[in-house]
Amino acid sequence: MKNNSKRKWKIVGFSVLSIFVLGIAALGYEYYQLQPKNHFSTVPVVGAKKASSSSNSSTAEEKVEVKTPVFNVLLIGSDQRKGQKIGHTDSMILIHVDLNKNKYQAVSIPRDTRVHLDGYGYTKLTSVQYIKQATQGPQKGVEAAVTAVSQFMGVPINYYVETNYSGFQSMVNALGGIEMDVPFDVKLTHPWYAENKNKLISAGTYSFDGKMVTEVVHERYSLKNGEYGRQQLQEEALKGIAKTALSPSNITKLPDLVKTIPQFILATNMSTSDMLSLGLSAKNFDPKTQLVYQQIRGEGKKLYDDILKANNYQIVISQDQVKDIAVNFQ
């Protein structure tokens, strides 16, 4: 009887040990798969036409092999509000990610940039997503915005992430707030919350919750440089988010944080494993040494908009300037 009992416990013990070993092996394999050179061995290209498709058919994503984990990500901020089904592209930041060197190039693209939309003519970049959403649905809208930026910059875009101000606010709150540098005075003339009307944020470094970060990055009318000033504020907010999310104290929480991201975004083609691999590779992110940020500037003009059938304010940007910047996004 004792021998049977001992044998039973040996079997149970061996089973538990086997499960433990298999679990460790599975975690090891998952960690291996999440290493950038393994995980990002193939990346999508957004906006590729489907084979044998007509010019009016939907876009698709092609998968391409890459020798090193290097790709482009477009961050889109929408002005879509709660309860609305469509919105304008309010801000765009294109990021060139080089996980081999742990270096990042970022460029803000003005919302009012003059672009050509197939089937419609010339319009503002901010209107591309809106008109496509209104006529073909949300997914076609974001695909059209990504494709428009890709064509304008002359570079492939592999991933996109779209959020709105509500999602942005929730994301910052999920991190417990962020530390943000405000490089110049900001007067809140068009706040989301009435109690912040005409509030002045003096230049300095602040610990902001999601509500205040959202107010600051939304402002442009009171800024000396208008849209370009707002782009600078958005850059500082993204730096603050990245530094907080990828800090040593939060890196162990990254898997849980990544799982919550879908509730903050409107659209993306990044999987949770894509985000986790990107986050793990960017731990201890230092924007001062790893990030180069640029702005594309142009000349504001009143021009005919083929969608609105009227003149409106558009920014005309030199193609030579675009080409000079695009070299760093190839």
pLDDT tens profile 62-101:
889 888 999 999 999 998 877 777 888 899 999 999 999 9
Which residues are registered as beta bridge partners of 44?
Answer: 63
Q: Residue 61 — very low, low, confident or very high, per pLDDT cuts 50/70/90? A: confident
Q: Output the six-digit token pair for 54.
A: 């007509």
Q: Are strands 103-109 and 114-117 parallel, antiparallel or unpaired?
A: unpaired
Does residue 60 contact residue 115 with C-beta atoms inside 8 Å?
Answer: no
Q: Output the six-digit token pair for 329.
A: 């996004």
Q: What is the mean pLDDT of residues 108-128?
A: 95
Global confidence as pTM: 0.84
Which residues are registered as beta bridge partners of 93?
Answer: 75, 108
Q: Which of the residue ranges 72-76, 232-236, 259-263 would you say has the lowest mean pLDDT? A: 259-263
The secondary structure element, H or E, covering residue 255 is helix 254-260
Collect all residues with Cβ–Cβ distance below 8 Å to 201 and sequence separation of at least 6.
182, 185, 186, 187, 188, 216
Q: What is the pLDDT of residue 251?
A: 74
- What residue segments make up the domains of the chain, in order of their start? 3-34, 64-327
Q: Output the six-digit token pair for 261.
A: 């991201």
Three-class DSSP category at 314: strand
Tell me: pLDDT of 29 over 60. no
What is the assigned CATH class of domain 64-327?
alpha beta
Does residue 276 contact residue 255 with C-beta atoms inside 8 Å?
Answer: yes
Q: What is the mean pLDDT of residues 285-305?
A: 94
Residue 205 is which amino acid?
Answer: T
The secondary structure element, H or E, covering residue 122 is strand 121-124
Q: Which residue has the higher pLDDT, 296 or 29?
A: 296
Q: What is the mean pLDDT of residues 185-210?
A: 96
| pLDDT, mean over the chain | 85
Does residue 116 contact residue 150 with C-beta atoms inside 8 Å?
Answer: no
Q: Output the six-digit token pair for 248.
A: 């040593």
User: CA-to-CA distance for 182 and 303, rounded, in angstroms?
Assistant: 34
Instruction: Kindly list the strands in the beta sheet with 70-78, ordered across the sheet, starting from the edge strand earlier in the chain.
Output: 265-268, 159-164, 70-78, 89-98, 103-109, 291-295
User: CA-to-CA distance for 28 and 44, rounded, in angstroms?
Assistant: 26
Of the candidates 162, 174, 8, the one whose C-alpha atom is nearest the C-alpha of residue 74 is 162
Which residues are registered as beta bridge partners of 241?
Answer: none
Q: What is the pLDDT of residue 3?
A: 58
Q: Residue 177 — very low, low, confident or very high, per pLDDT cuts 50/70/90? A: very high
What is the torsion angle, in degrees rounded to the nearest 10, for the CA atoms of residue 136, residue 140, residue 146 and residue 152?
Answer: -40
Counting Cβ atoms within 10 Å, is residue 113 exposed (0-12), middle (13-18) or buried (19+)?
Answer: buried
| DSSP summary character for residue 192 | S
Q: Which of the residue ranges 111-115, 243-247, 253-257, 264-268 would you say has the lowest mean pLDDT? A: 253-257
